[in-house]
Amino acid sequence: MRLKNFSLSIGSQIFKACSDESRLRILNLIFQNKEMCISDLEQILDFTQTKTSRHLIYLKNSGILVTRKIDQWVFYSLKEEVLEIIGQIFQFLSKDQILKQDAETFKTMYSNRELALNKFDHKNWQP
């Protein structure tokens, strides 16, 4: 489902959420990988649990993220309604070196089976 009416209110929420570099880095990883849990984001971005939680709560309260819980993990994903605009934002930022480094760190950690996401791959679980 796409946003049928892109209003000033919705736009300002999205742009305020994207006004912080840490939140952009979190959003980019979630956008690229469909779903991420807090512990994986902490490891990849080298953020504290407090910092990561604070930004995830902000993004969720802004109406950008949704959650689902599996066992003790909470996975965050983008609301379907904002996928298009978030995708356009990251299309403009696609050459940013920090975001590229975050993606490389994810790939390395995933291939080394260091992420919580890897635990679900063993159970034939698909994000």
pLDDT digits 0-9 by tens, 80-116: 989 988 999 999 999 999 999 999 999 999 998 888 8
CA 94 to CA 24: how far, in whole Å? 12
Phi-psi region of 57 (alpha: psi -120 to 50; beta: other; left: phi over 0): alpha
Q: What is the pLDDT of residues 3-19, one digit of tens each?
A: 456 677 778 888 999 99
The model carries a pTM of 0.87
Domains in the chain, start-ordered, CATH in brackets? 8-79+94-121 (1.10.10.10)
Cα separation, 19 vs 63, in Å, equals 15
| Amino acid residing at 63 | G
Please give the Cα distance from 93 to 99 (Å, whole number): 8
The model's confidence at residue 126, banded by pLDDT at 50, 70 and 90, is very low
**Mean pLDDT of the region 42-64:** 95
Q: Copy the structure tokens of residue 9.
A: 């209110």
